[in-house]
Each structure stands twice: as structure tokens, then as C-alpha cells.
Homo-oligomer: A and B are copies of this chain.
């Protein structure tokens, strides 16, 4: 057990931004919400999966929807209590702790804000180990743990409960509910029993994000890569960006070059593939991170633009995702690319 304080917010946000390129890691309103919550509540306990009492429940929370809308119309803080209360009432259980289903980007901050708002410990774990765009892309679903009831709460008091469907339909219904309530919703997934969560969740997500943030802030990229098994794939300049809005995600690709080489980056909300002359250098579920050279700051896919100079790093995805079943849910083919996952050993 350790404590997260208001002084940790900037580092947590920086590290979380590296774990999620889909936007929101640096979101102003989530940082300020978390800082205010922590100033009010004082430091919150962060507990490991093994510190949860057997038989107790932890509830995964996070935001689903448009980060752009979220910045314009932020949370008021009451959503956490409404979502968790509805899940508890519907399932007939009390929850003893909170975790993020996605401890990356804005959702790492919101998980901590939820814990502070509810006066519950934050579990140092999550269901993605990075950012993914859809709810069924969680290790809960991968391991057969319940996703439903999914609760959607908005800032005005609406609460929607979605139950009786599989992970794919839960994602579809949640997305539709979020659009109906106005662009984003604070989501709670089914409360997870501690013993099951210890087998399904990805451990140490919060402490890793915080540590990565500190290393980025200290401009200690070598140590970051060493400690987390990462590699610097390329350093170059963005010379082309194309974007389109697909049925599911903001989709696009960018070309980066240095004096000798040309790289192609494919993204859909998140960076998903890095290719050199058709060869896959890195791919989802491993992380592909663009770090702006000037500010040592992770770039969201929305920020990629002509002329930016960036380091392209890769960090391994969680071991659970690099299994055949994991790759079926979150590998390149799950995003429509007709290529296999490029295991790090095979490249570079």
C-alpha cells in the first residue's frame, strides 16, 4: 500500500499519456478535477491486487466517449457516486475499492478521482495495461470475467444500466447510450470479486504510469526503456499526415523520416502499427509512443502534424495480450490490418 497525493497528479498524467495516444492524457479538466479531489480528500491509499480482502469487490470505472466533448463539458464529480451506487444496487454487492478499466490517458486520472470521491482505495491495476478503444478489449472480458452490468452516468444525473449481453454488445450499447446522453459517460463495469480480479487484471498500472511520468519528466528515456523493456525505434520528423473519420474511430496515418529512413505510422484513436517498407516494426498490443523531442511530452494521435520531431518508442503490451486469444481481441487483425503481431524479438 502506498499513497497518491495531489503532488503526483502531473507525473501520473504524463505517464498515463504515454500509455494512451488516443488523447486525453494531458486533459486539463481531468488533471484539475483529480487535483481538487485529492486536495479535498487528502492522499488516497493505492493497494495492490493481493492486498484486497478475499470476498471483497472492486469496481472498474472510466470514461467512454469523446474527449473533446469532455473538455468542453467536464465531469462534476457526482458521476462516480451515481455510477457505483447503481452498480452496487443492481448487483446487490458493496464495493471496497475502485480501479480504472483503462489506467491510461484521461482514464488513469479519473480512476484516481473516483477513488478520492468515493473514499475508497485505488487498486494498482487495470484491465488494459494501456489504452484501447473498446470495452471488450479488457482482460476482464478476455478471461471470462463479467463486464455487465455496465453503468453509464452523465453529469446531469442520468444513470443507465446495460445487462444481459456479451462484451461486444455491451460495447455497442454503451457507445449508443453515451451518444444519447451527450457525448461521454462515466462508466462502471461489473464489480469484480477480489480473487477473480487478481487473476484477470493487469498489475501495477498506476505505479507504472507514475514512475514513467517521473522518468519522462526527468528526461531519463534510457532508464524508462531499460526498466520497462522498451526500445527507441526511430527519431524523425513528421512529413505527412492523413486522417479520416471511420465508423468506429478517428483513423489516420503519418509518415516520418530521418536522413536515411521512412516510417509509416497507422493509428485509430491509438497508434497501432509502425511500418518500414511494408515491414512491421511494432504493432498493437505493444505500445507505440511518439514523444515530442522539444518538450519530452507524449503526443496524442490528434496532435501529430507536419514538421513535428519525435522519438518513436515501443513498450511491450501486457503478456496476456500477446497470447493467441489476446491477439484475437486486440492484435492488428482486430483493428482490420491484414498483418500478424510483430513480436519485438523479430524486429530491430
Chain B residue numbers with a CB within 8 Å of A173 are 158, 160, 177, 180-181
Which residue in B90, B157, B162 is a CB contact (below 8 Å) of A89? B90
C-alpha spacing A181/B172, complex, angstroms: 10
- A98-155 interface with B by 8 A CB criterion: 153
**A169 interface hit (Cβ, 8 Å):** yes
Do the beta carbons of A163 and B161 come within 8 Å of each other? yes
Do the beta carbons of A172 and B165 come within 8 Å of each other? no
Instruction: Find the residue from A92, A172, A177 having the highest chain B CB count within 10 A.
Output: A177
C-alpha spacing A82/B165, complex, angstroms: 12
**A159 interface hit (Cβ, 8 Å):** yes
Chain B residue numbers with a CB within 8 Å of A342 are none
**A348 interface hit (Cβ, 8 Å):** no
Instruction: Give min CB distance, A110 to chain B, whole Å.
Output: 19
Do the beta carbons of B158 and A161 come within 8 Å of each other? no
- A269-304 interface with B by 8 A CB criterion: none
A76-98 vs B, CB cutoff 8 Å, 1 = contact: the mask equals 00000010001001101000000
Q: 8 A–B contact pairs at CB < 8 A?
A: A86-B90, A89-B90, A90-B161, A156-B165, A158-B163, A158-B169, A176-B180, A177-B177
Q: Which A residues are closer than 8 A to B by beta carbons?
A: 82, 86, 89-90, 92, 153, 156-165, 169, 172-173, 176-177, 180-181
A sample of 13 more A-B contacts (CB under 8 A), given A157-B165, A158-B173, A177-B177, is: A82-B164, A86-B161, A89-B90, A156-B165, A157-B164, A158-B165, A159-B162, A159-B163, A160-B162, A160-B173, A160-B177, A176-B176, A176-B180
